[in-house]
Amino acid sequence: MITRKITIKKIALLVLAGYFFWDTAALYADSRNSVQRELSKPVVRGGIVFKNYCGMCHGERADGVSRAAKLYGAERLRIKPSAADYYIKIIRGGGKAVGKSEFMPPWNDELSNEQINDVVAYLGIVTDSVRRGEVVFKTNCILCHGIKADGKGRAARLYNPPPADLTKSDKNDDYKTMIITYGGKAMGRSEVMPVWGEQLSTQEIADVVAYLRTILK
Ligand code: HEC
Ligand code: HEC
């Protein structure tokens, strides 16, 4: 009798563990698939082109922070937000093509049309704080807060209190910066909200806060 009871308990536990494992495995498979989907996007391919051909002069984030800054000056090397047409012209023909410095080389012979279009797509994001913030959000926060930031991520139901609905937040930018940098616990909230201060740069946190400002309902 006793052994039977234990067996039933054990089976119940195994089923529970199995369910939990299956559930977690499904979550991981889901995020793996979305990473693969992201990797086939032009902006992501453009980021790779940029890193290989442009980062040494313009800096990985196109902010002019690079080794070449000593030669040309970081402010000159920082790529400002501009229309795609302008980017394409200077990338194809070099600085000369738009009356700028010829230290900006022409890339027509080296890069394919597709690579140039990809790198232009990347520049559209990397020069815009809100769009950079959207990328930070979609890479780090959606498992809990959801793709729409409404608190309905795949993992949301595992937590109580649930991940906040960020489209209805009544907190200001300073508060958001603090809770993102130092985590929920430091702010007297749930410790499930992670500490991001070590993983994300100050700039990335400022960018994600800028993005969150644009999605308020
Ligand atoms: C050898 C260094 C060097 C490399 C490599 C380089 N650039 Fe440049 N680039 C420059 C310089 C210098 C300028 C500034 C020209 C000026 O202001 O007169 C510039 C300007 C630009 C501008 C205009 C920025 C603005 O806001 O007006 C764009 C866009 C640009 N580069 C894109 C690229 C891309 C894309 C690549 C890689 C495919 C690349 N550059 C590689 C040196 C470089
Ligand atoms: C592991 C799940 C998880 C992840 C990943 C996560 N969060 Fe959270 N977050 C939470 C939870 C849970 C809360 C609610 C805490 C509470 O109410 O005590 C929260 C709260 C917040 C708040 C407070 C909002 C308000 O109105 O009070 C902000 C802002 C926030 N998260 C931003 C982010 C950002 C940005 C990221 C990605 C860089 C992120 N979170 C990633 C779980 C998560």
**For residue 211, which of 157, 121, 140 has the smallest C-alpha distance?**
140
Residue 36 has pLDDT above 80, yes or no: no
Give residue 11's pLDDT.
65
Ligand nearest, relative to CA of residue 52? 1
> Cβ(121) to ligand 1 under 6 A?
no
pLDDT greater than 60 at residue 21: no
Say which ligand is closest to the CA of 181. Answer: 2
Cβ count near 105 (within 10 Å):
16
Query: Contact, 52 vs 110, CB < 8 A?
Result: no
Q: Quick one: what percent of the chain has pLDDT higher than 70?
A: 82
Whether residue 20 has pLDDT greater than 60: no
Spatial separation of the C-alpha atoms in residues 200 and 198, rounded to whole Å: 6
According to the model, what pLDDT value does residue 61 have?
85
pLDDT tier for residue 60 given thresholds of 50, 70 and 90: confident
**Which ligand 1 atom lies nearest to the CA of residue 107?**
38
Minimum CA distance residue for ligand 2 atom 43: 193
pLDDT band at 108 (very low <50, low <70, confident <90, very high): very high
First to last CA, the chain: 60
What's the confidence (pLDDT) of residue 99? 96
Residue 41: predicted pLDDT: 85
d(CA 74, CA 65): 6
Burial class (CB in 10 A: 0-12, 13-18, 19+), 153: buried
Return the ligand number nearest the Cα of 191. 2
Q: Are 176 and 209 within 8 A, CB to CB?
A: yes
- Range in 4-18, 80-94, 153-167, 174-188 with the lowest mean pLDDT: 4-18
Which residue's CA is the closest to the ligand 2 atom numbered 25?
A: 169
Q: Is the CB of 91 under 6 A from ligand 1?
A: yes
Residue 2: is its pLDDT beyond 60?
no
User: Can you give the pLDDT at residue 44?
Assistant: 87
Ligand 1 site, residue 54, Cβ cutoff 6 A: yes
Mean pLDDT, residues 112-118: 97
Contacts 24+ apart (CB under 8 A), 150-158: 154/27, 154/30, 155/27
Average pLDDT over residues 116-143: 94
Question: What span, in angstroms and rounded, lies between the C-alpha atoms of 8 and 27?
Answer: 29
For the purposes of burial, counting CB atoms within 10 Å of the CB of 70, is it exposed (0-12), middle (13-18) or buried (19 or more)? exposed
What's the rounded Cα separation, in Å, for the pair 162 and 180? Answer: 16
Structure tokens at 172: 């200001």
pLDDT, residue 195, reads: 98
Q: Decide if 126 contacts 61 (C-beta within 8 A).
A: yes
Whole-number average pLDDT of the chain:
89
Please report, for residues 10, 44, 112, 118, 210, the alpha-carbon distance to residue 40 in angstroms, rounded to integers and kept in the order given: 45, 7, 17, 11, 26
Task: Report d(CA 123, CA 115) in Å as an integer.
Answer: 12
Nearest atom of ligand 1 to the alpha carbon of 79: 26
Residue 202 has pLDDT above 70, yes or no: yes
Query: Quick check: 28 pLDDT over 90?
Result: no
State if residue 79 touches ligand 1 by the CB under 6 angstroms criterion: yes
How sure is the predictor about 86, in pLDDT bands with cuts at 50, 70 and 90? Answer: very high
The residue with greater pLDDT, 186 or 126, is: 186
Question: Which residue CA neighbors atom 9 of ligand 2 most closely?
Answer: 193
